[in-house]
Amino acid sequence: MAKSKLTVNGTAQEVDCDPATPLLYVLRNTLNLKGAKFGCGLEQCGACAVLVDGEPVLSCVRAVSEFDGQNITTVEGLSENGEPNAVQRAFIAESAAQCGYCTSGLVVATAALLKRNPQPSREDINEALADHLCRCGSHVRVLKAIDRLAAAGGSHDR
Amino acid sequence: MTASLEKQPNLDQWLAITGDGRVVVRSGKVDIGQRISTALAAIAAEELDVSLDRIAMATVETGVSPDEGVTSGSNSMQDSGQAIRLAGATARRYLINKAAAQLDVEPASLEIADGLIRSLDTNRSVTYWELQGDQPFEVPIDPEATVKAPGDYEEVGNPQTARGLADLVTGQPVFVHDMNPPGMLHARVIRPPHYHARLHALDESACERIETSGVRIVRDGSHLAVAGAEEYAVVKAAEQLAAAADWDMRGGLPTADIFDAMKTNERVSLPVADGIPRREPVPDLPDPPADAATTLTARYEKPYHMHGSLGPSAALAQTDGDKIHIWTHSQGIYVLREALAGGLGMAEEDLHIVHVPGAGCYGHNGADDVAVDAALVARALPGTPILLKWTREDEHAWEPYSTCMAMAVQASLDAEGNVVAWSQESYGDTFMMRPRNSPPGEGARRLLPLRYIENGAEDPVPQPAMRYHVGIHRNLDPLYKFPNPRLVKNLVRGLPLRTSALRTLGGFANVYAIECFLDELAEAADIDPVEFRLRNLDDDRAKACVQALADSLFKDSKPDNRGRGIGFAQYTNSKAYSAVGVELEVGDDAAIKLHRAVISVDAGQVVDPDGLIMQSEGGFIQAASWALHEEVKFDRDGVTSRDWDSYPILRFDNIPEIETILIDRPGDPYLGAGEAVSGPAGAAIANAVYDTTGLRLRRMPFTPEALRAAAMS
């Protein structure tokens, strides 16, 4: 057992666990943040994506000890006072989820993309979402949500 | 009257009015991302004249919810939708009459707005909640109840926001994977290398080390599991136990080429007429008729496909005395209860099964099996809640797949290009292995974990499905007016992999074959593919669907380097009609780039237009993924498609623009639409590849290797 210090969704956390524990398990079990999902445990599907210091990172393999001192934002942390933020609202407006299991990861990846690049080309989007799988076929709606956000330009918080 | 209503004829089984101003709607159909709860809520709100936010869709659970079998076959709108529509209409009339008596006015003088019943004559009023709050109706649903006229609809057919969508995008704990009751243990199973292997021995010292670390080992015969409070410790313990297990491999999987095996293996062959197999001898393929000018023959093939749910299956189970409670994303809680009660020798009442969302699946994935895994561990650790999750490898290697199929087609054209003979034989394993317990004993055979426990069940022996348009013969019967089509289903024995229901069953493969072969015939007859289809259809709605698609797909000319293709079917020749068009490009690397798709759908009265469009888009994307990429691979030692690298699926970089045209039919019956697009989509892609390359792709998947091989031959 060892202690790792993380800031998660703005709150400093000290977690005491096997330092090899993947970050995802700490988020879901220790911190009870169920937004990030276990999809493969192989960094192949994107369901577990979170933001680390603003950059999208897959959390299902890398050990919590690697993230010591870093700022983690999960999909829950994107919401503002419990209300959906601009990215989440765009996903709702475009019905960009069916079963919703991949959705957290896609919301997180979209938020990171648009912060970096408010007017992404289709190639930029493809690259940003290259690690993300969706099995219900909601891709078209996710692309529309991103278009909607890009069209709104920088006028929205992200 | 639908089967759902026959089984549950009473209003209280479907609807309740609460004292605090809500309408609780009970359906036996579960929401798996197809937005059925959104559509059902709209129907209930419409018929009852209440606002949508008053509708509470009840959790689906045994003993409480209506038994509507399995959420499958695109039946939910036709079954549950129609039942709730009539329940709402019955309740509305009941409440009007009750209000009239209470207010001492004529029922005809009353109007309703959001559950407030007001007399136009006296201005007196009463609400549903005052009249009926928390009281049973105790009346049957009137199958002849007057339902609202489509012209008066306020909710049905309007844009809806999917129920629960905000929770999904904000990461709220809605999935069974997210459950966390006090005292819960995490659990994993350790599966054999393949179906036929059984546990020979376990390294005792490794087991001791695991148990000393605080993780429990639960073994019953060859069924092995671990459970503990810390999930990551359980994950590691499962890996250690897997390494400590010595399996008796018992020969391994048959390795003969599956497409050869479908030609040579023993099989049950039945002629199919009007969509129904007959217990009769199969007629020989006759010589082409005297007026045949051209006769074409082709064999189309598809490999095994997996559901590939993005989240591996999971379930929570807990015993309570003699009872077991199970929380599951099974698409059929009542059939699971029946099969598991049979398998464990329990009374059905002692099993309480609750539906909780899981990752989308559209068929029979690992959901039912993992529920049994969890129940077995819960039984060994009485009173403790057990959350058992499969790994990615478990899901990929152990879910029941959609069977490989082969379709042998032959047709003759006369000198005018009329089809004067048509024969199709379809081959494959069963699609019909969902849980059930008939005949008795079948429950244990159909639930995977019960084959591995001590004195476990034998593998099930599939029997040919005999109902209308199910299994291998779903959409075997072409909607086209061909004279005396010769149709045969062949249930092939001895194929290597475990199979069951996946979206469309045999419909995907059969429509792929029919619609590609139609293009082959159209070319032989020198007739445009759209014109050829229209000539051979006599159903006006089918023709309108094809025409709507063609009008949009061919509106503008295409770039020279692209091909276009179409496909059409009416799902099960009785549900939604759909035509699909595709515009694509084959690159120098022989990879198919999808540029544009057009879908036309006639699903009768449209309730939730955006939901219908999403089902169509999702159906297209899944079918495109099947067609371009998917193939379950295996060798003697087991399934080798064990992750997303070894079983690739379609990604964001190949999603076309999709236009969906809804052909609304106000007032007409709902036609199930969740599976209507898949078959036409697969055929449209193959036909578009032919259009641009001249390569006729008769075996999926259409990988660059397959295209290069086709170009060489």
Find the Cα–Cα–Cα–Cα dihedral B363, B364, B367, B368, rounded to 10°.
140
Chain B (52-81) residues lying within 8 Å, Cβ to Cβ, of chain A = none
Kindly state whether residue B122 falls inside one of the protein's structural domains: yes
Bridge partners, B317 (sequence order): B326, B386
CATH number for the domain running over A2-76: 3.10.20.30
- Please provide the average confidence, as pLDDT, over all residues in chain A: 95
Helix (H) / strand (E) element for B611: namely helix B609-628
Residue B421: is its pLDDT beyond 80?
yes
Task: Give the number of residues written for chain B.
Answer: 713
Asked if B428 contacts B405 with a C-beta cutoff of 8 angstroms, the reply is yes
Average pLDDT, integer, range B167-171: 97
The sign one gets for the Cα dihedral B112, B118, B119, B125 is: positive
pLDDT at B121: 87
Residues B637 and B598 in one domain: yes
**Judgement on whether residues B394 and B409 belong to the same structural domain of the protein:** no
Same domain, B239 and B193: yes
Number of cross-chain residue pairs from A and B with Cβ atoms under 8 Å apart: 170
pLDDT band at A158 (very low <50, low <70, confident <90, very high): very low
- State pLDDT tens for residues B562-616: 999 999 999 999 999 999 999 999 999 999 999 999 999 999 999 999 999 999 9
B564-591 residues labelled b (16+ CB within 10 A) or e (exposed) = bbbbbbbbbbebbbbbbbbbbbbeeebe
Model pLDDT, residue A148? 97
CB contact under 8 A, B171 and A135: no
Give residues with Cβ within 8 angstroms of B123, minimum separation 6. Answer: none
**pLDDT over 70 (residue B381):** yes
Tokens of residue B616, six digits: 């169509």
Average pLDDT over residues B406-425: 98
**Cis amide prior to B439 (ω within 30 degrees):** yes
The structural domain count of chain B equals: 3
Q: How far is A107 from chain B (nearest CA, A)?
A: 7
CATH number, position B159: 3.30.365.10
Cβ separation B644–A42 shorter than 8 A: yes
Cβ atoms within 10 Å, residue B280:
9
- DSSP annotation string for B636-675: TTEE---STTTS----GGGPPEEEEEE---TTSPP---TT
Can you give the pLDDT at residue A154?
52
Please indicate, yes or no, if residue B302 is contained in any of the structural domains: no
Q: Is B632 a residue whose pLDDT tops 90?
A: yes
Q: Which of residues 364-393 of B touch A (CB under 8 A)?
A: 389, 391-392
Average pLDDT, integer, range B57-80: 92
**Does the pLDDT at position B103 exceed 70?**
yes
Percent above pLDDT 70 for chain B: 100
Write down which residue in B120, B153, B169 finishes a domain: B169
Residues B563 and B420 in one domain: yes
Asked if the Cβ–Cβ distance from A133 to B651 is below 8 Å, we say yes
% residues pLDDT > 90 (chain B): 96
CB of B524 within 8 Å of a chain A CB? The answer is no
Q: Which residues of B touch A20 (CB under 8 A)?
A: 232
Residue whose pair of structure tokens reads 């599991």 in the numeric block? B225
Q: Cα angle vertex B43, ends B42, B48, to 5°?
A: 100
Based on the fold, state whether residues B382 and B233 are members of the same structural domain: yes
Q: Is the same domain home to B212 and B78?
A: no
Q: Average model confidence (pLDDT) for chain B? A: 97
Are residues B143 and B208 both part of a single domain? no
Q: What are phi and psi of B237, to 5 degrees?
A: -60, -40
Contacting A residues, span 105-144, partner chain B, CB-CB under 8 Å:
107, 125-126, 129-130, 132-143
A-chain residue closest to B678, CA distance: A137
Q: For strand B23-25 and strand B15-17, is the pairing parallel, antiparallel, or unpaired? A: antiparallel
Half-sphere exposure of B296 (CA within 13 A, CB side): 17
User: Are B175 and A37 inside 8 Å of each other by CB?
Assistant: yes
pLDDT at A156 over 60: no
In tens, the pLDDT along A123-143 reads: 999 999 999 999 999 999 999
Q: Is B644 part of any domain?
A: yes
At residue B161 the predicted structure's pLDDT band, cuts being 50, 70 and 90, is confident
Task: Report yes or no on B571 lying in a domain.
Answer: yes
Strand pairing partners for A73?
A: A51
Closest alpha carbon within chain B to A20: B232
At B634, which helix (H) or strand (E)? strand B634-635
Q: Distance between CA A22 and CA A63 in Å, rounded?
A: 4
Gap between the Cα atoms of B538 and B480, Å rounded: 7
Q: Is the dihedral of CA B671, B672, B674, B677 positive or negative?
A: negative
Residue B590 identity (one-letter amino acid): A
Residues 6+ apart with CB under 8 A from B216: B185, B226, B227, B228, B381
Q: Is residue B443 part of a domain?
A: no
- Do B141 and B212 share a domain, yes or no? no
Domain that holds residue B558: 405-430+465-712
CA distances from B316 to A114, B80, B105, B684 (A): 38, 27, 53, 42
Q: Is residue B603 assigned to a domain?
A: yes
Same domain flag for B492 and B598 = yes
A42 vs B33, B621, B643: nearest CB: B643
Give the model confidence (pLDDT) of B281-336 as tens digits: 999 999 999 999 999 999 999 999 999 999 999 999 999 999 999 999 999 999 99
**Chosen from B170, B393, B654 to mutate, greatest number of chain A CBs within 10 A:** B170
**Domains of chain A: which residue ranges?**
2-76, 86-153
Cis-peptide into B271, omega within 30 deg: no
Q: How many residues does chain A have?
A: 158
pLDDT digits (tens, 9 = 90+) for B1-15: 788 999 999 999 999
Residue range B241-259, pLDDT digits in tens = 999 999 999 999 999 999 9
The architecture of the domain spanning A86-153 is Orthogonal Bundle (1.10)
CA dist B474 → B96, B489, B503, B574 (Å): 45, 10, 11, 11
Which of A41, A91, A126 is the closest to B652 by Cβ?
A126
The answer for residues whose C-beta is within 8 angstroms of residue B505's C-beta and 6 or more apart is B402, B431, B470, B471, B472, B474
Evaluate whether residue B368 is within a structural domain.
Answer: yes
The verdict on B632 and B671 lying in the same domain is: yes
B204 vs B213: CA distance, rounded Å: 14
Residues B192 and B151 in one domain: no
Strand pairing report for A2-8 and B23-25: unpaired
User: Does the beta carbon of A49 lie under 8 angstroms from any beta carbon of chain B?
Assistant: no
**In terms of domains, do B559 and B687 share one?**
yes
**Pairing relation of β-strands B198-202 and B15-17?**
unpaired
> Which residue of A37, A140, A142, A147 to mutate against B (max B Cβ within 10 Å)?
A140
- Indicate yes or no: CB of A25 within 8 angstroms of CB of B619: no
Q: What is the largest CA-CA distance in chain A?
A: 48
Q: What is the ipTM of this complex?
A: 0.96
Q: If you average pLDDT over residues B149-157, what whole number do you get?
A: 92
Q: How far apart are CA B272 and CA B280, in angstroms?
A: 9
* pLDDT of A157: 46
Q: Is A88 on the interface with B (CB under 8 A)?
A: yes
Asked which of B398, B420, B449 is the last residue of a domain, the reply is B398
